[in-house]
Amino acid sequence: MPHERFLDKQDLMQMLHVSLRTLYNWRTKGKLPFVKVEQKIFYRQTDLERLLKTGRGNSEW
């Protein structure tokens, strides 16, 4: 069974070329699923790939 890869905010900001504020907005609007471990927020790579494949790109958000 493969292990789930988790990305942090820096990973997503670099991959998607967006600001921290944009990630926050997407998260609070429910557009970007996340997992909170203690006080740190992570994003599943599979969730990100699914969003990108379904066409829910940042221009639609």
Instruction: Tell me if residue 19 falls in helix, strand or coil.
Output: coil
Sign of CA dihedral 13, 17, 19, 25: negative
Helix or strand holding residue 24 (H, E): helix 20-28
pLDDT at 9: 96
pLDDT at 7: 97
pTM of structure: 0.77
Rounded to 10 degrees, the C-alpha dihedral 43/15/61/35 comes to 10
pLDDT at 41: 96
* pLDDT tens per residue, range 6-31: 999 999 999 999 999 999 999 999 88
pLDDT at 58: 52
